[in-house]
Structure 1
Amino acid sequence: MTVQAGIIGGGRRPLSILLAMLGPVLLSACGGEAEPPAAPQPVLTVEVISPQRETWPDALVASGEVAAWQEAVIGAEVGGVRLDEVLVNVGDSVRKGQLLARFSEDSLRADLARLDAMVAEASANLEKARADAARADRLESLDAMAKQTGQMYRTQARVAEAQLASAQAQHRAQALKLRYARVVAPDDGVISGRAATVGAVSPMGTELFRMVRRNRLEWRAEVTANAMQRLQPGASATLTTLDGRTVAGKLRQLSPTVDSGTRNGLAYVDLPADSGLAAGMYLTGRFALPAREALTVPEAAIVQRDGNQYLMQVDGQSRVHLVKVGTGRRQGESIELQGRVDPAARYVKSGGAFLSEGVLVQVVPAGPAP
C-alpha cells in the first residue's frame, strides 16, 4: 500500500506539465481566435486624367494616281505616204505649231499638179459652154434656133460649172493633204508617247504621238462617298512624294458619280507645273478641312491589346476597368477619342499596359500638362 501511494502521489506533477503543454493545441482545435488576413496592396502608383475637349484643324487623307489633265493624241492625217522625218522624242517640250514630223511630199505634190490641170481644163470648158449658151440665146431670140437646142447649150454650161466646182474641191482636198504632210503640235505641252517611225507607211488616223497638254498634271484622289460631302472645290491639298517632299495643290472639282464597285469617287486636284511629278505615280495626300471639336487624351493613355485599343478607367475604389475605345486624329502628344467615352471619368495617364481588370492602384495627382 505504501508503495502504490507513492507512485500515485509522485505521478501528479508530470501530468500537470503535460496538460500545460497540450492546452494551446486543444484550444486551437476547438476554434480558438486566429490572426486577421492582410489588407490588399496597390499594384501600381498612377496618375489619372480626364478627356479634354479641344478644337483641332481637320484633314482628310486619300490616295490616288497622278495623271495628265488632258492628253492629246496626234495622228496621221494622210494615208499611204512614207514618213520621212521624226523631230521629237518622249519628254520633249513643244510649242503650239511646232513641227513634229514630216511625211514625203513628192507624190502629194504630183497629185496636186494633176488637179491643177483638171481645174484649168474645167475652167476652159466652162468658158466655152457659157459662150455657146450666150450665142444660143441670141439665135433663139431671133427665132434662128429651136428652143430645145438652146436649152441643151444652157444645160451644158451648168454641167461645166459643176465640173469646175468638183475639180476645185479635189484641188483643195489635195492641198490639205500636202499641208497635213507636216505634223505640228496642236498646243503647248510635253510629248508623253511616240509611235512614229521613220520610213513607215501608215493608214490615215494612225497614232503618231501623245502629248500632255500644257504640261499640266492633276491628282485623282479616291475618296469615299461620305468624305466627298465634306469636300468643296477650292480646298487645299498637300501630297507627299516618294522621296518625302510635299507638293501643294488645289481641288478643282469632284466627280459627279461614284464607282459602283468600290463606292469611291474622284477628287481632281490641280498640281503646279514645277511639281516634279510624273503621270502614273500613285501618291497619298491630305485635304485641309474646317476645324472641328475633338475629345482628346494623351496618346500614352491608350493601351493596345489583342488588336484593340483601351483606356484604363479608375473607379471610386481605385480599381481599374478596361474601356474599349476608337481613335482618330493625332496632334502632338494627344489623340482623339471616338465612340462612347465618359468625359467625366478618370483614366490612367500612362503605364496602363502593366494593369489588368479589377486590380487596385494608388492614385496621385497628375503633373502639369506637356
Structure 2
Amino acid sequence: MKTPTLRLSLVTGTLTIALAAAFVIALSGPAEAQQAASAAPKPALTVKRVVAQQSTWPQTLAGTGSIAAWQEVVIGAEIGGQRLAALNVDVGDRVKKGQLLARLSPGTLEADLAASRAALLEAEASAREANLTANRVKTLQGSEALSPQAIDQALAADAAAQARVAAAKARVQADQLRLSYTQVTAPDDGVISARIATPGALVQPGQELFRLQRGGRLEWRAEVPGAELAQLKTGQLVRVQPSGAPPVEGRVRRVAPQVDAQTRNGLVYVDLKGGESLRAGLFARGDFVLGDSAALSLPQSAVLLRDGFSYVFRIDGSKVRQTKVQVGRREGTRVEVRSGLTAGAAVVESGVGFLADGDTVRVAQ
C-alpha cells in the first residue's frame, strides 16, 4: 500500500506533464494553422479568353508637323496718300475673286482724270486739223504751188499731232488705273485670314491691308526622317490627327527635294480636306499609308507593360503563363504582335495587371 507522500508526488508529476503538453500544443497550434492557410490554393480569378487574330493592316509611316495655308496672299494698297474710306470684310469672311474688300477716298484722282480727258479732246482736235492740212498738201506734191520744205513741215506737224493724241490717251489710261486702285478687290477666291487695315487711316503705297488664304485651302507640312522620304510618293493617302480637332484625310502633294542639315528631316506637303474645326497653325500628327501587310493582333487590354517590356498571359488549362511579346502598329483598339505569339494562341483579354505567372484562373464561357 502506497504512502500519502508517494501518492502526492505522482499527482504532482502528472499535472506537470499535462501542463507542459498543453503549453506545447498551444505554441504549435498557430504555426500549423499558418502552414495550412499558406498551403491552401489562392482563389481563382475569372478571366475572358481572346485569340490572336491574323489580318491585313495598312502599313504606315508616322510624321509630325503644323497645318498652314496652302498659299497666303498679302493684299496691300497700290497707291498712297489716300484715306481708307470703307472696309467691307473682316477676318474669317469667305470672298470671291473680284469682290470689293475696301475702298479708298479718291481725293484729287477724279479731277486728274477729268483734266486728262480734256487734254485728250484738245489733242484730238489739233490732230484732226493737222491731218486735214497734211492731206491737202499731199495733193500739191510735184507742183510748183508749195515748196518741198513746206510740204515736209505739214506732214511732220500731222505726225506730231498724232503722237500728242497717243500721249494724251496714255495719260487718261494711267489716271483711270490710279483711280481704279481706290477699289481694293480680292485677287482670288479664299478666306480672309488677317485684317490690318483701319478705317480712316492714311495708307501708303504697298501697305498691307489684308491676308487671304487662297481657295481656303490648307495643307499639312509634315516632318519625316530623311531616310524614309524615298517611300513617299505624290498622291499617297495620309491620315492626319490635328490637336483639338477631328481627324482628316489628305493626299501627298509634294515631297521636299532636300533634307534639313540639322534635324535630318525632310518636309512633305499634304493637301487636306477642309473642315470647320481645322485651323492654320495647329500641330498635327499623321500616318502616311504605304500599303497593306499581314498583322497578328490582340486587343490592347490583353497586353501588359511591365519594366519596359510587353507581356501577355497565355491560358494553359486552368493556369496562365506570362509570355514576353514585341508589339508594333496600333489600329483602333488593337495592337500588332510582331513576335512571341502565334496565330490562334489563347490569352487573357483584360485585367492582366492583377495576374502573375502560374496563377490559377477560371475561364468565363
Q: TM-score, normalised by structure 1?
A: 0.67
SS in 1 for 2:132: helix
Q: Report deviation, 1:259.
A: 2.9
Q: Secondary structure at the match of 1:278?
A: coil
Tell me the equivalent position of 2:148: 147
Q: Distance in 2 between matches of 1:352 and 1:200?
A: 68
Runs of at least 5 residues in structure 1 that lack an aligned partner in the other structure? 1-50, 313-319, 356-360
User: Residues 1-370 of structure 1: matches in 2 within 5 Å?
Assistant: 55-243=56-244, 245-261=245-261, 262=263, 263-272=265-274, 274-294=275-295, 304-305=306-307, 308-309=308-309, 327-330=327-330, 332=333, 334-337=335-338
CA offset digits 1:70-124 (Å, max 9, x no partner): 2222221223222211222111222232211111124111000110111011112
Following superposition, the deviation at residue 158 of structure 1 comes to 0.7
Give the CA deviation at 1:201.
2.9
* 1:189–1:131 CA distance, 2 compared to 1 (3 A): same
Amino acid at match of 2:147: A
Q: Do the aligned partners of 2:310 and 2:327 also contact (CA within 8 Å) in 1?
A: no
Shift of 1:224: 2.3
Change over 3 Å in CA distance of 1:267–1:109 after alignment to 2: closer
Distance 2:229 2:71 in 1: 23
Q: CA deviation at 1:270?
A: 2.0
1:200 and 1:216 mapped to 2: Cα distance? 31
Structure 2 runs not aligned, ≥5 long = 1-51, 313-320
Question: C-alpha separation between the residues in 2 aligned to 1:121 and 1:155?
Answer: 19
Displacement after TM superposition at 1:161 (Å)? 0.8
The CA distance in 1 between the partners of 2:189 and 2:353, in whole Å, is: 62
Report the CA distance between 1:301 and its aligned residue: 6.7
Conservation of the 8 A alpha-carbon contact between 1:297 and 1:337: no
Q: Secondary structure at the match of 1:145?
A: coil
Give, in angstroms, the shift of residue 281 of structure 1: 0.9
Letter in 1 for 2:100: L
Task: Say if 1:227 and 1:82 are closer, same or farther in 2 by CA, change over 3 A.
Answer: same
CA distance in 2, matches of 1:328, 1:290: 16
Q: Which moved further from structure 2: 120-129 or 157-166?
A: 120-129
Letter in 2 for 1:251: R
**Deviation (angstroms), 1:171:** 0.3
TM-score, structure 2 length as denominator? 0.68
Q: Report the equivalent of 1:13.
A: none
Counterparts of 2:201 and 2:330, CA distance in 1? 60
Counterpart residue identity of residue 114, structure 1: A
SS at match of 1:229: helix
**Residue type matched to 1:266 in 2?**
V
* Alpha-carbon distance in structure 2 between the residues aligned to 1:93 and 1:201: 26
- SS of the residue corresponding to residue 177 of structure 1 reads helix
1:277–1:105 distance in 2 versus 1, CA, 3 Å: same
C-alpha distance 329-165 of structure 1, shift in aligned 2 (>3 A): same
Quick check: 152-161 or 136-145, which moved more?
136-145
Change (3 A) 1:151 1:326: farther
Question: Which residue identity does 2:199 align to in structure 1?
Answer: V
Tell me, what secondary structure is at the counterpart of 1:149? helix
2:98 alignment partner AA: G
CA distance in 2, matches of 1:301, 1:209: 54
Matched residues in 2 for 1:78 and 1:133: separation?
A: 42
User: CA RMSD of the aligned region, Å?
Assistant: 4.0
Change (3 A) 1:333 1:74: closer
Instruction: Note closer, same or farther for the CA distance 1:125–1:285 as it changes in structure 2 (3 Å cut).
Output: same
Give the 3 Å change call, closer, same or farther, for CA 231–147 of structure 1 in structure 2.
same
- Higher-Rg structure is 1
2:89 aligned counterpart, secondary structure: coil
Instruction: Name the CA distance, whole Å, in 2 between partners of 1:77 and 1:184.
Output: 11
Structure 1 CA distance, aligned partners of 2:303 and 2:273?
Answer: 40
Equivalent position SS for 1:101: strand
The amino acid of 1:235's aligned partner reads Q
Quick check: 1:252–1:270 contact (8 Å CA) kept in 2?
Answer: no
The residue type paired with residue 266 of structure 2 is N
C-alpha distance in 2 between matches for 1:54 and 1:67: 36
Query: What is the percentage of aligned positions where both structures have the same residue?
Result: 35
**1:303-338 superposed Cα distances (whole Å, 9 cap, x missing partner):** 643xx53779xxxxxxx9x98x86421355654337
Q: Structure 2: how far apart are the matches of 1:291 and 1:267?
A: 23
Q: Distance in 2 between matches of 1:165 and 1:190?
A: 42
Give how far 1:283 is off.
1.5
| TM-superposed deviation, 1:160 | 1.1
